[in-house]
Amino acid sequence: MGAMCGIGALLDPAGTAPADCGRRMVDALRHRGPDGDGVYRDGPATLAHTRLAIIDVPGGDQPLHSEDGQVSAIVNGEIYNHAALRLELERRGHRFATRSDSEVVVHAYEEHGEDLVRHLNGIFAFVLWDGRRRTLVAARDPFGVKPLYWWSDGRRLAIASEVGALLATGLVEARVDRTALDHYLACRFVPSPRTLFHGIGKLAPASLLVTADGAPPARSSYREPPGAPLDATEGELERELAERFVDAVERQMMSDVPYGAFLSGGVDSAAIAAAMAQRMQEPPSTFTIGFPGHGAVLDERSYAAESARLIGTEHRDTAMEEADFLDELARCVRHLEEPTGIPSAPALMQLSRFTAGSVKVVLSGQGADEPHGGYGRHQAAAALSAAGRLGPLARPLRAATGLLAGNERARRAGRLLGDLSSAERLVRLVEITGDGLRTRLVGGTGEDAAAERLALAEDVLGDVAGRGLVEQALYLDTRLFMPDRLLICADKMSMSASLEQRVPFLDVELMRFVERIPVRTRVRVRAGKRLHRRAMARLLPEQVVRRPKHGFSTPYESWLRRALGEEVERRYAPGADLAELIEPGVVADLVGAHRSGRADQKSILYCLLELSEWHRIFIEGVAREPVRALGGRG
How many CA atoms are closer than 13 Å to the CA of 509, on its beta-carbon side?
18
**What local confidence, expressed as pLDDT, does residue 528 receive?**
84
| 309-323: average pLDDT | 93
Q: Which CATH architecture has domain 235-367+486-545?
A: 3-Layer(aba) Sandwich (3.40)
Which strands make up the sheet holding 122-130, listed edge to edge? 64-65, 71-79, 122-130, 135-140, 207-212, 218-221
Q: Which residues of 315-329 are buried (b: 16+ CB within 10 A; e: fewer)?
A: bbbbbbebebbbebb
Which strands make up the sheet holding 361-363, listed edge to edge? 314-319, 285-290, 259-262, 361-363, 500-502
Residue 572 backbone dihedrals phi, psi, to 5 degrees = -110, 25
Helix (H) or strand (E) holding 249: helix 234-251
Interatomic CA distance for residues 7 and 157, integer angstroms: 14
Interatomic CA distance for residues 585 and 440, integer angstroms: 9
Interatomic CA distance for residues 211 and 218, integer angstroms: 6
Which band of pLDDT confidence, cut at 50, 70 and 90, is reported for residue 597?
A: confident
Interatomic CA distance for residues 188 and 431, integer angstroms: 8
| 52-60: average pLDDT | 60
Which superfamily, per CATH, for 5-221?
Aminohydrolase, N-terminal nucleophile (Ntn) domain (3.60.20.10)
**What local confidence, expressed as pLDDT, does residue 397 receive?**
45
Strand ranges in 280-319 using DSSP code E only, listed in sequence order: 285-290, 314-319
Interatomic CA distance for residues 504 and 489, integer angstroms: 17
Angle of the 435-442 helix axis to the 584-596 helix axis, nearest 10 = 130
Which band of pLDDT confidence, cut at 50, 70 and 90, is reported for residue 255?
A: confident
Q: Which of 311-325, 412-426, 496-510 has the lowest mean pLDDT?
A: 412-426
**What local confidence, expressed as pLDDT, does residue 342 receive?**
95
Asked if residue 625 has pLDDT above 90, the reply is no
Cis geometry, peptide bond prior to residue 584 (ω within 30 degrees of 0): no
Best CA proximity match to 441, nearest among 584, 564, 598: 584
Q: Which residues, at least 6 apart from 186, have a Cβ–Cβ distance to it below 8 Å?
A: 431, 432, 433, 438, 446, 449, 450, 453
First vs last C-alpha separation in the chain = 45
Interatomic CA distance for residues 413 and 435, integer angstroms: 14
Interatomic CA distance for residues 315 and 151, integer angstroms: 43
pLDDT tens for 345-386 read: 999 999 999 999 999 999 999 999 999 999 988 988 888 776
In this structure, the strands spanning 122-130 and 149-152 are unpaired
Amino acid 375 reads Y
DSSP for 166-235? Answer: HHHTTSS---B-HHHHHHHHHHSS--TT--SBTT-EEPPTTEEEEEETTSPPEEEE------SPP---HH
pLDDT tens for 392-406 read: 545 544 544 444 344
H-helix segments, 252-300: 267-279, 295-298
| 214-243: average pLDDT | 94
Domain boundaries, the chain: 5-221, 235-367+486-545, 372-480, 556-619
| Residue 607 among the catalytic residues | no
Percent of the residues in the chain that have a pLDDT greater than 70, as a whole number = 89
Interatomic CA distance for residues 28 and 7, integer angstroms: 10
Interatomic CA distance for residues 519 and 516, integer angstroms: 8
Cis geometry, peptide bond prior to residue 63 (ω within 30 degrees of 0): yes
**What local confidence, expressed as pLDDT, does residue 562 receive?**
77
| 75-95: average pLDDT | 96
Residue 156 CB neighbour total at 10 angstroms? 20
**What local confidence, expressed as pLDDT, does residue 215 receive?**
80
Q: Which residues, at least 6 apart from 240, have a Cβ–Cβ distance to it below 8 Å?
A: 232, 513
Q: What is the CA radius of gyration of the chain?
A: 24
**What local confidence, expressed as pLDDT, does residue 1 receive?**
40
DSSP for 522-574? Answer: H-BTTBTTHHHHHHHHTTS-HHHHTSPP--S--THHHHHTTHHHHHHHHHT-T
The structure's pTM equals 0.92
**DSSP state at residue 284:** P
Q: Which of 243-257, 388-402, 510-524 has the lowest mean pLDDT?
A: 388-402
Q: Which of 57-71, 195-209, 426-440 has the lowest mean pLDDT?
A: 57-71
